[in-house]
Amino acid sequence: MKHAVKRIAALLLTALLICPCLMPAALAESPAESAPAATEAPEAKATMTPAELQAQGILTVGAKGDDVTRLQQRLKDLGYLSGKVDGQFGGGTKRAVIAFQRRNKLDTDGVAGQETQARLYADDALAAPGEEKTDVLAGELPMLVNKDHVVDEFFTPADLVLVNTVIKKDLATVKYKKTRGVKAAVEALKTMLEAAKADGVGKKWQIAAGYRSWDDQNNMLNAKIKSYKSKNKGWSSSRARRAALRSVAEPGASEHHLGLAFDVNRKGSSTFAGTKNSEWLNEHCWEYGFIIRYQKEKEEITGFVAEPWHIRYVGVEHAMYMKEHNLCLEEYLQGIEDGTIVLNGSAENAAEAAGEAGEEEEPENPEEPEVPEEDPDAADDMGEPDDMGEPDDMEEPDDMGEPEDADAA
């Protein structure tokens, strides 16, 4: 048993180390991942038809009739179902059931069994939140999204705009015309690209990804699972899901949900690192309020391998501080919480005061190279946790190092 737990932990760690922007996170508490372990007769469900299950009061995809109509109506009344009430349990109904289950802390298997229905028809069943949009730039601190800080499926940033209405072709190619981002961040991106152009690095920029909804991420994950299953006959759903989670983030855990993160690369180039564009971005994005979110020497903290193309808007003051002190977002926010970093312009003073008191500026990381970007290889052995299981079993995600495919959905 202990061994099994350790092995699961190792698998989770394995998954975490792969491709941040697609998979930023999320394994440990993924209820969907453990979906097959439903509370309602899982073995029976695997072999029985929807009609047979329905006869036992369990509603699943394929069920139809009055009890489905009643279920749909209730889901609609509570704000989970946007489609029509037609008495046919299809994909939309399943999604609504999952959303209801997640919000009501039930197993998220998309099956309306006894427990789910009891909760659903109870007077105190939790309704879906309304169409509330989140101002992701509100507040003093940059909002954190990672495996431990996930957003729910109702999360929508305020102020989203189409990137290609702000950034024209002379500055960059927007790979997908529907790509959106939060207006202030897209405008900062434009300013940054104008500066790059003025510096003579104006060619071949491409914006490959921006805002991603919870559904987008969910679809990406499902597409990846499907692809694994079709390539590997005989794989179980849970095995395909585990494999997919190595390269695609669990919905809710992708920083792209904020509308403040963009995948920026060089058009036609299969790798971004090492290009003129990448070097410029690494050196200058901070001045325009962006951070290189996942850096090599911070992999153990962020949980993701380096992604030189994934930038995140946090505002100039925060970005410059993180650059100057070589901090990733997790470290920066922790420093503020600890009081070792003080906001509102007094951050430098606090750091100096800490220095005078005989402390390192970054006491939590005294061995970090001060200027790692000049010698990235110096940060060796960032590697795998000691107890990482079976590295031979690891698969490289298809899109590793290929930012062109960064949002392959």
- Tell me the closest approach of the beta carbon of residue 165 to Zn ion, in angstroms: 21
Joined together, the tokens standing for residue 45 give 């469900």
Site mask for Zn ion (CB under 5 A), range 64-93, x = bound: ------------------------------
Q: Count of H helices and E strands in the chain?
A: 15, 7
Asked about 307 being catalytic, the answer comes back as yes
Helix (H) or strand (E) holding 293: strand 290-294
Joined together, the tokens standing for residue 56 give 């036992």
* Cβ-based nearer residue to Zn ion, 96 or 258: 258
Site mask for Zn ion (CB under 5 A), range 169-188, x = bound: --------------------
Is 21 one of the binding residues for Zn ion (CB under 5 A)? yes
Catalytic residue among 40, 250, 255, 307: 307
* Cβ-based nearer residue to Zn ion, 21 or 220: 21
Using alpha carbons only, give the angle 131, 134, 140 rounded to the nearest 5 degrees: 165
Residues 299-338 that bind Zn ion (CB under 5 A): 310
Residues 204-233 that bind Zn ion (CB under 5 A): none
* Cβ-based nearer residue to Zn ion, 107 or 263: 263
* Cβ-based nearer residue to Zn ion, 107 or 407: 407
Per-residue DSSP letter, 134: B
Which residue minimizes CB distance to Zn ion?
21
Assess contact for 21 and 72: CB atoms under 8 A.
no
Distance between CA atoms of residues 210 and 36, nearest Å: 32
Joined together, the tokens standing for residue 292 give 């290189």
| 5 closest CA partner among 28, 26, 23, 37 | 28
CA distances (Å), 59 to each of 125, 355, 398, in order? 18, 64, 37
Is 293 one of the binding residues for Zn ion (CB under 5 A)? no
Using alpha carbons only, give the angle 141, 252, 306 rounded to the nearest 5 degrees: 70
Can you tell me which of 107, 263, 297, 331 binds Zn ion, judged by CB under 5 A? 263
Joined together, the tokens standing for residue 265 give 């690369």
φ, ψ of residue 344 in degrees (nearest 5): 65, 50
Using alpha carbons only, give the angle 185, 189, 195 rounded to the nearest 5 degrees: 145
Joined together, the tokens standing for residue 144 give 């954190």
- Tell me the closest approach of the beta carbon of residue 265 to Zn ion, in angstroms: 10
Which residues are near Zn ion by CB under 5 A? 21, 263, 310
Residues with catalytic function: 307
